[in-house]
A and B are shown apart, each in its own frame.
Chain A
Amino acid sequence: MLFRLRTSPVARRIAGALFTLFGVSVAVFLMLRAIPGDQITAAYGVEAAALSEEQREALRSYYGLDQPLFLQYFTWVGAIFTGNLGYSMRSHQSVWDMTALSFPVTLELAVLAVLFALLIGIPVGMLSASRPNALRDWFGQGVGLAGLGIPSFLLATFLLGIAAQSWGFNPNGLGYARPWEDLWLNLQQMLLPSLVLGFAIAAPIMRTTRTAVLEVRSLDFVRTAKAKGVPASRLRWRHVLRNALVPVVTMTGMQFGFLLGGAVIVEQIFSLPGLGRQVLLAMNQQEYSVVQSTVLIIALLFVIVNLLTDLLYRKIDPRVRAE
């Protein structure tokens, strides 16, 4: 750290996250200044060619592009703090309003995906660990390798293709339904996308569960518990799994970044109007102010989840707190 805070590790961790967020905002700002040509060309497209030199100057000063870079940066950040995330010229909506609609979609998708991933990953990991190198372990490892090796966009294309073109099942073609409008349709629309995303992160969760169960099982306290006659099922669930879940929680938190990235792909394929689709659409339409703010929001979410994972980890594992 730049400065050593003489405070609790938790406060230091939060300060670190804030510092990272500052860096993220600078990085996003600079990335979008790397656009070939300037934002006027981007905003006005071919019509920009028809602008006279004076008009161009006027626009540059209107958008603040004649200001030094750091002033532009502070204007942008200042606007964000007052709740102004920019405006989409195409949809005539503020990015704030767009995000208020799209964020819940991505949140629901992410929560369901994590649910699927845990439901697949933990049992398969435990099954694998229950007899290393046996047939069931090979099966588990195979599931893990499939999760790593099958790209989300491929699995999504395949499943959607089969469902829609063979069985005529394509609830996503009907236009997105919010859960409070039509819960049943909404869940149908979320089924395949969250399964695809969940499958991808089930692999690392399965691997982590397997390693952790094997490790915990070899510890002294498990032997002691076995010696004093704890029944096998109680030993497996209460003693081994509970302790093995600590790294699984961390791994799940770490996968959140993948979820947000994967959401771009899955939301695009299944026409879900979430954050990922919002950013992709803005990129395709060259609406860079929307891209800038949305990317910042996604990175912010990622930093917050990482921070929460870290704090949760301290909470459930006393050994970390002791350090």
Chain B
Amino acid sequence: MSISVDTPDLTTSKRPLTGRSGLKAVVALLRSPSGVVGLVIVALFAILAVVSALGVLPFSPSAQDTSVRLHPPSSVYWFGTDQLGRDIFARVAAGVANSVQVAVVAVFISGVLGTAAGVIAGYLRGMSDTAISAVTNVLFAFPSLLLALTLASVFDRNWFTVAIAIAAGFAPIFVRVARGPVLSLREVDYVSAARATGMRAPAIMVRHILPNIAGILIAQVTLTLSWAVLAEASLSFLGFGTPPPAASLGTMVFDAQTLVIAAPWTLLAPGLVLILLIVGLNLLGDGLRDALDPNRKG
């Protein structure tokens, strides 16, 4: 996955520092074709994940029926069945639910910790900035997949530790995304004014700094979600993701390795769903960034 860190300079922007207000941002998002497409895809997957979690699909993701092994897609088995006679649609849906669960928790952890560290580093400067930046540089020195893999290999594995392993590589991204704009925000007049009135640093950070970087963070969260989905699938493919019997898109692709020609649906179903999920999150993230970032076109 490519990791690019944009640090827009909020002080030189011609637009108001707060970026766009909520309603205007929604309108801007709905005007960009890629944003709408992304939003629709992500919404459909959210529904699929919820439906799967509720267990109202005709087949259970783990129910085996050896009489219908490797059955091609049909009106009964929408995406066909796998080598154990399990319904692939049910497994894909459960895999999406699992991916989304791991990705959301991973991004939540990295987002909260990374943003907090980035805001503190950027606002307080000095020793805390030095220390936080040093840790960030160290985490950035690992290829993120390798970091997640190493952590996943030493942990007792379950979906939550997999999420933590993935989060470790993404936290430094939020540190950089948050720290950059805060460096310029702390010099802005109303922040100095708040300081002069005796407002304490934690209160200033929460009341005046955070709301101003919220737009950038929301866009970053969406993009990071797509990387987290990819990371979870890659870990599962390598055997270090959510352990079986839980369905995972990466594990399904691994199991389909020898069936590419004999039963192509076993590879294509989880594969295309995975691509669609990642692309959808990417499009939504791009759309949100354009809609919320005051420095971009719109």
Contacts and interface: CB of A to CB of B under 8 A. Distances in A.
A317 to B, nearest CB: 18
B279 A145 contact: yes
A20 B262 contact: no
Chain B contact surface mostly: helix
Given A161-B257, A204-B4, A34 B142 contact: no
A308 B133 CA distance: 20
A272 to B, nearest CB: 15
A68 B81 CA distance: 55
B156 A36 contact: yes
Contact of A1 (B4, B130, B153): B130
B141 A31 contact: no
B1 A295 contact: no
B149 A264 contact: yes
B145 interface: yes
Nearest to A280: B238
A165 B260 contact: yes
Interface stretch (B49-57, B208-216, B270-278): B270-278
Chain A contact surface mostly: helix
Nearest to B143: A261
Contact of B233 (A2, A19, A151): A151
B240 interface: yes
Contacts of B260: 157-158, 160-162, 165-166
B295 to A, nearest CB: 14
Contacts of A31: 150-151, 154
B141 A21 contact: yes
Given A24-B138, A31-B151, A295-B146, A153 B253 contact: yes
Interface string B254-269: 1011111110000100
B143 A23 contact: no
A154 B149 CA distance: 18
B155 to A, nearest CB: 7
Contact of B262 (A165, A284, A306): A165
Contact of A157 (B145, B267, B278): B267
B156 to A, nearest CB: 5
Given A24-B142, A34-B154, A204-B4, A265 B275 contact: no
Nearest to A26: B138
Nearest to A149: B279
A302 B130 contact: no
A279 interface: yes
A1 B234 CA distance: 35
B7 interface: no
A171 interface: no
A268 B238 contact: yes
> Which size bracket describes the interface of A in this complex?
35 or more
Contacts of B237: 153, 265
A148 B230 CA distance: 10
A257 to B, nearest CB: 4
B135 interface: yes
Nearest to A306: B141
A166 B283 CA distance: 34
A298 B278 CA distance: 27
A203 B267 CA distance: 23
A80 interface: no
B67 interface: no
A298 B156 contact: no
A30 B267 CA distance: 38
Contacts of B238: 153, 264-265, 268, 280
16 contacts: A1-B130, A20-B137, A35-B154, A151-B233, A151-B275, A153-B234, A157-B254, A160-B260, A165-B261, A254-B4, A260-B143, A260-B146, A261-B146, A265-B238, A280-B149, A302-B143
Given A264-B146, A283-B240, A298-B143, 18 more contacts: A16-B137, A20-B134, A20-B141, A24-B141, A31-B154, A36-B156, A150-B275, A151-B233, A153-B253, A154-B271, A157-B256, A157-B271, A158-B271, A251-B4, A257-B142, A257-B143, A260-B143, A283-B153
Chain A to chain B: the 6 pairs with minimum beta-carbon distance, closest first: A161-B260, A261-B145, A261-B143, A23-B138, A204-B2, A149-B279
